[in-house]
């Protein structure tokens, strides 16, 4: 080997060694960068690597870094979504109680004083749930949320903090802001309190109370309590009106589903009044209660599918099951309204039979005989006669055929004593 060749090999070896060390150093730095970001990820830090940190890396390592960054972005998005869900009410999309309490603490520092609290409560929610079902109650809560969201300002906090309870917090409030909010809220509630009773609407009734922290520097908890007390005072004064209005809505909905059902109850009321008026042993208070029962005994039909209620002709097993749920629905409605509470048990049992084979089946041993309330036993007679002659679910029977059927079912479906009394009244109009 010549001297020149030896020098060449020596030079080539030196260059190769230098390149090896340079490449190793670059790879080492790249690996160190990636190792540090992975270690931070393991510690729960998901900040992506900046572009300037990725740019010097070899292409393969840069791709790894970009993949790690994408993973971190997805993790950050998931964390943000979880956090947002944690402070949001799932049904209405408003902030929840947790967020409200955090906001109360934050605003309590005083840097956004004065703060106004507006406590709101949906009136009649239980009645809607009992009568129409929880799906309708949920719709009512969503309507309330929409109203409050619309009337609130951009800086205001709106939250659902309980089943039917909502709250607004107005930072940096004053008389003008309170008046403006009260006007907007009052106008929206007036508009939403006129539901048409159709298949896709239910009126919204809401009580609300407002309070603001004052010069005495009350805590925000005290302000919220003050607003809550004012709201409940309004709610109590309007409770009866709300219940009557919702009862009218239920009757309107029944009428929209099946006009003949309202006519049926009206005819039952007239027939019941005439029958009991013919009996000297029946006092006026009992007669008045029974005529109210007759006019509302099928109020539970509001919770039955409209297609089933309106069907003409025979019903199948599932449809009968739906129809047979109406006494329990009616019972829940009447129980929730003080001036109808005395009718609740009679509504529940007005399809029970003397022999115990009626419905609904709420107990292991269903009521039978005189354990069925007297009001229900009389109501079942009036109801059956009117249904037979009024063509509710089968071809109508004549007056005489209906009387014969009542007598035939005495002792099985009907109280035998009251069945004969009612049959004789239908024949002669005279008591026995």
CB 277 within 8 A of CB 376: no
Q: pLDDT band at 32, cuts 50/70/90?
A: low
3-state secondary structure of 13: helix
> What is the residue-averaged pLDDT of the chain?
84
CB neighbours of residue 203 within 10 Å = 21
Task: Tell whether 386 is covered by a domain.
Answer: yes
Asked if 135 and 63 sit in the same domain, the reply is no
Torsion sign, CA atoms 139, 141, 142, 148: positive
pLDDT above 50 for 9: no
pLDDT at 19: 38
Contact of 304 with 311, CB cutoff 8 Å:
no
Residue 42 has pLDDT above 90, yes or no: no
Cβ neighbours around 308 below 10 Å, total? 18
Which pLDDT value is given to residue 41? Answer: 63
Q: Which of 391, 378, 355 is nearest to 425 (CA)?
A: 378
Tens digit of pLDDT for each residue in 265-309? 999 999 999 999 999 999 999 999 999 999 999 999 999 988 888
17 has pLDDT over 60: no
How far apart, in whole angstroms, are the C-alpha atoms of residue 66 and residue 54?
Answer: 8
Burial class (CB in 10 A: 0-12, 13-18, 19+), 275: buried
* Average pLDDT value for residue range 359-377: 83
Q: Per residue in 412-428, pLDDT tens?
A: 999 999 999 999 999 98
Do both 288 and 201 map to the same domain? Answer: no
Residue 361 pLDDT greater than 80, yes or no: no
Could you tell me if residue 67 is inside a domain? yes
CB 269 within 8 A of CB 236: no
pLDDT at 127: 93
Q: What is the pTM of this model?
A: 0.76
- Give residue-wise pLDDT tens across range 377-389: 999 999 999 999 9
pLDDT at site 76: 65
51 and 144 share a domain?
no
Instruction: Assess whether 39 and 136 both reside in one domain.
Output: no
The domain that holds 101 is classified in CATH as 3.30.70.270
Pairing of strands 116-122, 206-212: antiparallel
Band (pLDDT 50/70/90 cuts) for residue 110 is: confident
The per-residue pLDDT for 14 is: 44
Residue 130 burial (C-beta neighbours within 10 Å; 0-12, 13-18, 19+): buried
How much is the pLDDT for 54? Answer: 62
Are residues 280 and 416 both part of a single domain?
Answer: yes
Is 285 found in the same domain as 220? no
Q: Are 204 and 69 in a shared domain?
A: no
Q: Which domain holds residue 262?
A: 258-428
Taking the CA of residue 5 as centre, how many other CA atoms within 13 Å lie in the half-sphere pointing to its CB?
A: 2
Per-residue pLDDT of 387-407, as tens digits, reads 999 865 567 889 999 999 999
Q: What is the pLDDT of residue 47?
A: 72
User: For 48-95, what is each residue's pLDDT tens digit?
Assistant: 667 766 666 666 666 666 676 676 677 666 665 666 567 899 999 999
114 and 72 in a common domain = no
């Amino acid at each position: 080997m010549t001297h020149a060749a030896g020098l060449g090999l020596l030079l080539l070896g030196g260059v190769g060694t230098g390149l090896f060390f340079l490449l190793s150093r670059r790879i080492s730095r790249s690996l160190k960068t990636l190792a540090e970001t992975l270690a931070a990820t393991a510690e729960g830090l998901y900040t992506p690597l900046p572009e300037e940190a990725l740019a010097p890396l070899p292409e393969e390592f840069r791709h790894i870094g970009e993949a790690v960054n994408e993973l971190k972005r997805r993790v950050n998005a998931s964390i943000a979504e979880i956090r947002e869900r944690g402070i949001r009410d799932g049904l209405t999309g408003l902030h929840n109680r947790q967020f409200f309490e955090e906001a109360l603490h934050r605003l309590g520092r005083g840097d956004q004083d004065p703060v106004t609290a507006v406590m709101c409560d949906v009136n009649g929610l239980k009645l809607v749930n009992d009568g129409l079902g929880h799906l309708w109650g949920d719709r009512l809560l969503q309507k309330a949320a929409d109203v409050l969201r619309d009337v609130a300002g951009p800086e205001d906090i709106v939250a659902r903090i309980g089943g039917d309870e909502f709250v607004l917090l107005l930072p940096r409030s004053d008389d003008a802001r309170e008046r403006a909010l009260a006007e907007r809220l009052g106008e929206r509630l007036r508009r939403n309190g006129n539901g048409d009773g159709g298949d896709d609407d239910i009126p919204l009734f809401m009580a609300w109370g407002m309070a603001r922290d004052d010069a005495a520097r009350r805590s925000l908890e005290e302000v919220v309590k003050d607003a809550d007390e004012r709201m409940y005072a309004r709610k109590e004064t309007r409770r009866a009106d709300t219940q009557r209005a919702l009862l009218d809505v239920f009757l309107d909905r029944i009428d929209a589903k099946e006009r003949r059902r309202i006519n049926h109850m009206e005819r039952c009321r007239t027939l019941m009044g005439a029958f009991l008026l013919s009996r000297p042993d029946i006092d006026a208070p009992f007669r008045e209660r029974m005529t109210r029962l007759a006019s509302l005994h099928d109020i539970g039909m509001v919770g039955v599918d409209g297609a089933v209620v309106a069907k003409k002709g025979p019903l199948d097993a599932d449809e009968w099951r739906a129809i047979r749920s109406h006494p329990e629905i009616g019972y829940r409605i009447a129980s929730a309204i003080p001036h109808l509470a005395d009718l609740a048990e009679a509504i529940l049992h007005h399809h029970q039979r003397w022999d115990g084979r009626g419905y609904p089946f709420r107990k292991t041993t269903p009521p039978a005989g005189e354990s069925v309330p007297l009001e229900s036993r009389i109501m079942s007679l009036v109801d059956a006669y009117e249904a037979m002659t009024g063509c509710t679910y089968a071809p109508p029977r004549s007056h005489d055929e209906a009387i014969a059927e009542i007598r035939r079912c005495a002792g099985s479906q009907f109280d035998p004593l009251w069945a004969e009394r009612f049959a004789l009244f239908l024949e002669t109009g005279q008591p026995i």
